[in-house]
A and B are shown apart, each in its own frame.
Chain A
Amino acid sequence: MNWDETLERVRSAAEFCASAGLTRFRIDEENLAIEVRRSARVPAPVAASAAASPNGGAAVLPSTNGSTPHDEHPASVLKAEFVGIVRLSRPSVTPGTVLSEDRELAYVESLGIRNPIRSGGPGRISAVYVSDGEPVGYGQPLFAIEA
């Protein structure tokens, strides 16, 4: 993919993010990862990085957790995409944990495949909804993060 195409992908991801009212949106592909983060107060800041993503399937689509455009720190909820068993990553996070950068919080083990759940950037964990070894279904909330 050339740079123009990449920019176009980022632009359409940002537009989608805004139109769907999402605060975070991430696409993981074989040789490209696009992440869009949007604060409700400032125009959508955009980050894109070309990175080898070992598992392209674990896109996480956070939703705004009842946040309004006036929320100081809108929380987004990371949900399970796969039916499987949650394995919390070390060091495990608890409510109040501050993350300085994107990291793996857990993975959902499904049919022997690890599907990583990433924070998507820095933030503060405001809730952990699951415990290590717990079975989860599709769409089940795992973590809430404040930007």
Chain B
Amino acid sequence: MFKKLLIANRGEIAMRVNRAAHELGVETVAIFSEADRTSLHVRNADESFCVGPGPVARSYLNIPNIISAALISGADAIHPGYGFLAENARFAEICADHGLTFVGPAPETIASMGDKATAKAIMSAAGVPTTPGTDILASVGDALAAASDLGYPVMLKATAGGGGKGMRAVRTPEELEHAFATAQAEAEANFKDGRLYMEKLIERPRHVEVQIVGDSFGNVVHVGERDCSVQKPSHQKLVEEAPAPGLSDAVRSKLHEVALSAARAVRYASAGTLEFLVSGTDVYFMEMNTRIQVEHPVTEMLYGVDLVKEQIRVAAGEHLSFRQAALVPRGHAIECRINAEEAAHNFAPAAGTLSDVALPGGFGVRVDSHAYAGLAVPPFYDSLLAKIVTHGSTRDEAIDRMHAALGDTRIAGVNTTVDICRRIMRDPIFRAGGFGIDFLPALAATFASASAVAR
């Protein structure tokens, strides 16, 4: 096992990794920006280094300062969390060059899965069903030809994309030229890579993903699926649950089997997630995330395993501590992301200082959060303040428990997603389960107009 782990992240995930490391008897080193000097993740670590000013490019993405902090503190491994450097193959290589273990898969795996078009080709070759689509499009002309082959509607996607950026749904040839230009510009601005490809748009799909964990001895298990169909218009997830409600046993086993063969195809040796679109009984591989995900606690609550500890263990060269047969889901788990956002204004990020924070607790309730009264929410980072996770013996019980937990949640000083999450828990379509990713955009529109009336 490692002696000392540097956690190259901030907020709740840095605290999550810090806890796992301490449970394993591993010392921790936090990094922080000048804007995060008073953050809880800094206080809870054994040592800490300021690595730069507030903007991420100069702090949480400042590779030389992060590596230097790891070396002078005597750390032997770096955990990247999610976001920031978590899926940066070059960073993983640089860690290795300095004798530091990167807690994640091999740099080649990160690189091949990070390029969506390459990932799709690899998965397709491994027999994983993928959405009909194209290679990189050289021009609008290529795009027009490809769209008429695939048949409208189609989806333009950035090959370096993620988080809904550089994606455009296109329903007619007339829309395509403008959509191509804007998606390309957005991809260029966000990922410094404007290359686009096209896929057939699967109408009203569900977003279902499968958690996998592998070790360096070739063992790999799936830890079930999560339904992440409650997505903002930007395609960012807001509510996740496991198991996915209303899936037939056949579709569920197909997802698990496909995920396992995909993981084996790339000799995956870490925690990772395969995202699928599900439409009826069809499943299509969307992308593989080569990191621990925001919503991993849903799976942990359902299966009673600690995914972050397992991820650290396998990175340290240990065997997986559980076999497939030992992984049995129990009950139902739901997560709500409490973000500093204005739900009534298209989830625009809100910055400010938290004047009051009371987080829920009690039986079957888990809260992962770095929030405290007095915390200044800087404008530079992700808006996530807390993840509230409830577990129940049934889906209904988990939902009711979440509704009550959200009722106990008080965060003042910035607008948050608490109210809209509470509204979702009472929504008949949500309670019925099995809805598509069009659910939240429709509900958010009525939420916005209701808020306007209330004013």
Contact = CB atoms under 8 A, between A and B. Distances in A.
Contacts of A137: 48-51, 69
Given A135-B73, A138-B52, A138-B65, 14 more contacts: A83-B49, A83-B51, A83-B72, A111-B64, A111-B67, A111-B71, A137-B48, A137-B49, A137-B69, A138-B51, A138-B53, A138-B59, A138-B62, A140-B50
Given A83-B72, A135-B73, A138-B34, A110 B65 contact: yes
20 contacts: A82-B68, A83-B50, A83-B51, A83-B66, A85-B72, A110-B68, A111-B68, A111-B98, A135-B73, A137-B48, A137-B49, A137-B69, A138-B34, A138-B50, A138-B51, A138-B53, A138-B62, A138-B65, A139-B34, A139-B53
Contacts of A135: 49, 72-73
A137 B69 CA distance: 8
Nearest to B33: A138
Secondary structure type dominating chain A contacts: loop
A139 B66 CA distance: 14
B204 to A, nearest CB: 48
Interface in A94-147: 110-111, 135, 137-140
A82 B64 contact: yes
A74 interface: no
Contacts of A140: 50
Contacts of A111: 64, 67-68, 71, 98
A84 interface: yes
Of B67, B71, B72, B73, most A-chain CB atoms within 10 Å: B72
Contacts of B53: 138-139
B42 to A, nearest CB: 11
A96 to B, nearest CB: 29
A83 B68 contact: yes
Interface string B54-94: 00000100101111110111000000000000000000000
Contacts of B71: 111
B48 to A, nearest CB: 8
A10 B68 CA distance: 33
A140 B34 CA distance: 10
A139 to B, nearest CB: 6
Contacts of A82: 64-65, 68
Of B64, B66, B67, most A-chain CB atoms within 10 Å: B64
A75 to B, nearest CB: 21
Contacts of A84: 68, 72
A83 B34 contact: no
Contacts of B49: 83, 135, 137-138
Contacts of A139: 34, 50, 53
Of B49, B53, B65, B68, most A-chain CB atoms within 10 Å: B68
Interface string B282-309: 0000000000000000000000000000
A135 B68 CA distance: 10
